[in-house]
Amino acid sequence: MKTGKQEVLELLEQLPEDASLEDIQYHIYVRQKVQKGLDAAGEGTVIAQEEVERRMARWLEK
């Protein structure tokens, strides 16, 4: 398993040389959110699409 530092170093290698600090922060943020989703899917703690649609429809009615 890679450390957080190793993952960030790999991410930095993929970014262009002129990437700003804001660009770097954004890519780290997106990486964290994607990993969180993958972890949730692996644990089976995601909500089915139909349930999301049902909840959103109820929310949008208000």
pLDDT in tens, 3-14: 999 999 999 999
As for how many domains the chain has, the answer is: 1
Are 28 and 11 a contacting pair, CB within 8 Å?
yes
Is residue 40, in this structure, part of any structural domain at all?
Answer: yes
pLDDT tens digits, one per residue of 10-33: 999 999 999 999 999 999 999 999
Average pLDDT, the chain: 94
User: Nearest to residue 5, comparing CAs of 39, 28, 33, 35?
Assistant: 28
User: pTM, whole model, 2 decimals?
Assistant: 0.73
The whole domain housing 32 covers: 19-61
Does 3 reside within a domain?
no
Position 62 scores a pLDDT of 66
Residue 4 lies in a domain: no
Tokens of 20: 């700003």
